[in-house]
Structure 1
Amino acid sequence: MKILIIQGGFGAGGAEKIVSILAAHRAERGDEVQVAGLTMPPGGSYFPFPDEVTLHVAQASGGQLDRLRHIRSVVQQVAPDVIISFLTKINVLTLIATLDRATPVIISERNNPRAQTANPVWRHAQNLLARRARAVVMQTQRASEDLPRAIQRKARIIANPCALPTGAREHLGTGSSNLVAVGRLDHQKGFDLLLDAMPQILAGNPSVRLTIYGEGPAREALEAQRDRLQLGDVVSMPGSSAAPGEWMDNADILVFSSRYEGFPNVLAEATVTGLPLVSFDCPYGPRELIRPEENGLLVPPEDVDGLARAVLRLSSSPELLQKMRDADLESRVWLAPDNILAEWDETIDDVA
């Protein structure tokens, strides 16, 4: 089978990680797999691809019309048996680019389209065009229930696969003061809320230190907020981790402050590794991944005081921290790549 996967780019992101895993899996099965993206980092793809997977990159920095032309050109060049696209804008562009083709298309929404700050035209366009898709892959049941009724019958619920990162468990912290947060530096990830919680956390535990891994458009504003709160000696922002999973080295607690999500890979990686969690109960993902009091603590969305109290509670309880570190098996079985990829295989084969 010839499969074309279309994504936004080849950088560090949740959708990009899943694309690399899925592409490698289907290539190993004997499929001809090609992956198209609109951007490529200077050092190459953040996530690896096997040599037998062909990559297509549009280096032009044009607008949506140029991107549409690139997608259409790749589709015509590859002539795939099945197309899989990821994320709202790419889903819309892919469905438009294939209007005159009978090639079956699977689209996958990886975020919360109701909450995204992008122009709502994209969500409405996806809802309209998704009627042409053969399947719509969502990551949680709650997310699928937010689809228009006409599309819900096409929905397949497939969580993100997540294997235990090599060496991650052995490198976890054993204390209670090293906090980490990970994600794109933008409004969605809520790092401004986390910074607002830090003075209260420090008042209760002066030894706490926070590292925020990631890059994005909000860096300047977050650095200014950090300085304004006099947290320069407490909060570091070193950029993205050098390799997937390295952000967990010496980490004691992951603090997850997102305003909305789809199915956060960072949380999944933490749950299969045994890294204790404190997270806002935002839609969607945290509630599906966190078993309260077992592997993490959930806090009402955007409750800054509640976030601070939860971090202090966890950092002051070595017994609870150890209990959470030992609670990784259930998530590891549920999110095992073989199990999740079998669900993708069933969807792809049904559509083909």
Structure 2
Amino acid sequence: MKLIYCHCSLYNPGGMERVLLNKVIWLKAHTDWDIKVVTTDQKQKATFYPFPEDVCIIDLGINYSDDNVLSPLKKIWGYLHRRKLHKQRLTELLLNEHADIVISLYPSESSFIPQIKDGSKKVLELHFNKFFRLHYNRKGLLGIVDWWRTRQDEKIARRFDKFVVLTQEDCGYWGILPNLVVIPNAALRLGDCRSDATQQRVIAVGRLDYQKGFDRLIKAWEIVQKDRKCRSWQLDIFGQGEWREMLQKMIDKAGLGQSAHIHPPTSQIGKEYANSSLLVMSSNYEGFPMVMIEAMACGLPVVSFDYKCGPRDIIDNGVNGLIVSNGDIEGLAHAMTRLMGDEDYRKMLSQNARKVVETYSEEAVMAKWIELFSNLAKP
């Protein structure tokens, strides 16, 4: 069987890229399938994560991201022009490749890929949630476009042979779609990395942008540091992105420079989890928080906002972590101080957090993908 995954790029240390890598590695180890990855914005950069050498990566050179600095009208015009070029180049490639199944990770080809009659089955894999375009609350013309595209997403999803979402929560938002399937991401053990929940360190991981909401975390950390019992604790944020300077200014302005630090991404994140006692997720939205289940697999209890989507599916509140109403900064701070001040409770949550691998084991998750692909490939 031949699979082709379509994604924007592979040079960022993001969750989608890590999930794709994990799936590709598993498939190459357990099948003889031919797997290729097609990108639009790789720009001749190296992949952040090392993909297997026998997985061919093809970049179409569309470069949608080049238009990010333009005005709204020029951005829309540029997007339409690049999408036309994208459709031409991807059509030519798929007609030559004769793949059995083509999987779109919901970048721009999702709007036209079912129209490409290359004989392959088409799968749409959503790593966000139904409302991801609206979480930014953009105003004016771009806000209207976000609203219109959200309305179109259901029409787009219906055109695929299968539409895969990551959580039962998100599944409920889409309603009854005949092609809808729920397959979560897998919780991988990161080697022998284990936290004993005794380190006085809180960790947060993700891209430094609006989605991850680290501005909300820093505000909560300012409240935490007013508690004398918590002043010996450190907050370490790992990530890169356009908000780095803004977040550092927030830390400096609040006088948190001794306790809060921003670090670049690391390929050894398991070691960082092992040297921490608590993961905090302050996201505005997610599809399925890969960081959450990875950290829990390493024994980290989680304090998380109740954003869409993921926490309700993964966290058993008070058993393996704590869920706080989305946007409740004081509530987030209180949940952190509660765990920081009670080592016995942290250790109990830590032991329960490790059990996430029972529900989201790689074997169980990949069995669902094998079943889906095998059924689609049947004549």
The structure-2 alpha-carbon separation of the partners of 1:16 and 1:120, relative to structure 1 and needing over 3 Å to count, comes to farther
Aligned to 2:127: 110
Letter in 2 for 1:159: P
Q: Which runs of 5+ in 1 are unaligned?
A: none
Whether 1:8 aligns to 2:8 is yes
What do the CA deviations read for 1:61-91 (whole angstroms, capped 9, x no partner)? Answer: 3533343344333323322111111135342
Aligned to 1:33: 35
Letter in 1 for 2:4: L
Partners of 2:6 and 2:105 within 8 A in 1: yes
Aligned to 2:163: 136
Question: Which SS does the other structure have where 1:33 is aligned?
Answer: strand
Whether 1:198 aligns to 2:215 is no
Cα distance in 1 for partners of 2:40, 2:267 equals 22
What do the CA deviations read for 1:84-132 (whole angstroms, capped 9, x no partner)? Answer: 1113534225335x2x444210101110231334834443343222222
Question: Which SS does the other structure have where 2:123 is aligned?
Answer: strand
Shift of 1:42: 6.9
Shift of 1:249: 4.0
The structure-2 alpha-carbon separation of the partners of 1:228 and 1:138, relative to structure 1 and needing over 3 Å to count, comes to same
Cα distance in 1 for partners of 2:88, 2:268 equals 33
Alignment of 1:87-166 (within 5 A): 87-95=106-114, 98=116, 100-116=117-133, 117=136, 119-147=146-174, 149=176, 152-166=177-191
Question: Which SS does the other structure have where 1:278 is aligned?
Answer: strand
Letter in 2 for 1:111: F
Shift of 1:47: 2.4
Shift of 1:176: 5.0
Whether 1:58 aligns to 2:75 is no
Cα distance in 1 for partners of 2:85, 2:268 equals 31
Aligned to 1:175: 198
Letter in 2 for 1:183: G
Partners of 2:183 and 2:368 within 8 A in 1: yes
Count of equivalent residues: 346
TM-score, length of structure 2 as denominator length: 0.85
Letter in 2 for 1:269: E
Q: CA RMSD in A?
A: 2.1
Letter in 1 for 2:41: T
Question: Which SS does the other structure have where 1:50 is aligned?
Answer: coil
Cα distance in 2 for partners of 1:186, 1:120 equals 21
Cα distance in 2 for partners of 1:148, 1:326 equals 36
**Identity percentage of aligned residues:** 25
Partners of 1:88 and 1:113 within 8 A in 2: no
What do the CA deviations read for 1:319-351 (whole angstroms, capped 9, x no partner)? Answer: 111112211453111111111000011111111
Cα distance in 1 for partners of 2:86, 2:254 equals 41
The structure-2 alpha-carbon separation of the partners of 1:270 and 1:317, relative to structure 1 and needing over 3 Å to count, comes to same
Alignment of 1:275-294 (within 5 A): 275-294=300-319
Shift of 1:59: 4.0
2:87 to 68, 73, 77: 68
Aligned to 2:248: 223
What do the CA deviations read for 1:161-203 (whole angstroms, capped 9, x no partner)? Answer: 122101321xx36435211111111111111111111121011
Cα distance in 2 for partners of 1:8, 1:191 equals 24
With 20-29 and 283-292 compared, the bigger mean Cα shift is at 20-29
Letter in 2 for 1:322: K
Aligned to 1:21: 22
The structure-2 alpha-carbon separation of the partners of 1:36 and 1:120, relative to structure 1 and needing over 3 Å to count, comes to farther
